[in-house]
Structure 1
Amino acid sequence: MRPIIGITGYVMPATWGVWHDLPTALIPHDYPAAVQSAGGRAVVLPPDDEDTDVLRVLDGLVLAGGPDLDPALYGAEPEPLTESQPERDRAEIALVRRALELDLPVLGVCRGMQLLTVAAGGRLHQHLPDVLGHEKHRPAPGVYGEHEARFTPGSRIAALMGDDLGIHCYHHQGVADAGSLTVTGRAEDGLAETVEDPDRRFVLGVQWHPEYLRDRRLFGALVAASTG
Structure 2
Amino acid sequence: MGRVPVLFAYGQRARYQNYTAAIMAAGGLLHFSEETSEAADYDGLLLPGGGDLEPWRYGQENFACRDLEPERDDAELALLERFTVCGKPVLGICRGLQTINVFFGGTLVQDLPGHSAASRDRLHAVRTAPEAFGRLWGERPVVNSAHHQAADRLGAGLRSVQWAPDGTVEALCHGTLPVWAVQWHPERLTGPLAIAGAADGGRLLEAFLERCR
Q: Secondary structure at the match of 1:205?
A: strand
Which structure's residues are more often strand, by fraction?
1
What amino acid does structure 1 have at the position aligned with 2:107? R
Query: Mind listing any 5+ residue stretches in structure 1 that lack a counterpart?
Result: 11-24, 130-134
Partners of 2:164 and 2:140 in 1: CA distance: 13
Q: Residue 20 of structure 1 corresponds to which residue in structure 2?
A: none
Change (3 A) 1:106 1:219: same
Provide TM-score, normalisation by structure 1. 0.82
The offset of 1:64, in angstroms, is 0.2
What amino acid does structure 1 have at the position aligned with 2:147? H
What amino acid does structure 1 have at the position aligned with 2:89? P
User: Do structure 1's residue 40 and structure 2's residue 28 form an aligned pair?
Assistant: yes
User: Do structure 1's residue 197 and structure 2's residue 183 form an aligned pair?
Assistant: no
Change (3 A) 1:183 1:80: closer
Q: Residue 82 of structure 1 corresponds to which residue in structure 2?
A: 66
The offset of 1:32, in angstroms, is 0.9
Q: Residue 4 of structure 2 corresponds to which residue in structure 1?
A: 2
Partners of 2:208 and 2:64 in 1: CA distance: 36
Match of residue 69, structure 1, among 53, 67, 73:
53
Q: Which digits, 9 at most, give the CA deviation of each residue in 1:57-101, with x for residues without a partner?
A: 200111000000111111111114433111111111111122111
Higher Cα Rg, which structure: 1
The offset of 1:198, in angstroms, is 3.0
- State the superposition RMSD in angstroms: 1.7
Q: Residue 147 of structure 2 corresponds to which residue in structure 1?
A: 171
Match of residue 188, structure 1, among 165, 177, 202:
165
Q: Secondary structure at the match of 1:225?
A: helix
Q: Residue 109 of structure 1 corresponds to which residue in structure 2?
A: 93
Structure 1 stretches of 4+ with a deviation exceeding 6 A read none
CA contact 1:7–1:31 (8 Å) conserved in 2: no
CA contact 1:62–1:106 (8 Å) conserved in 2: yes
Query: Mind listing any 5+ residue stretches in structure 2 that lack a counterpart?
Result: 191-200
Partners of 1:198 and 1:161 in 2: CA distance: 21
- Greater mean deviation of Cα atoms: 53-62 or 100-109: 53-62
Instruction: State the identity as a percent.
Output: 36
Q: Secondary structure at the match of 1:26?
A: helix
- The number of residue pairs the alignment matches comes to 200
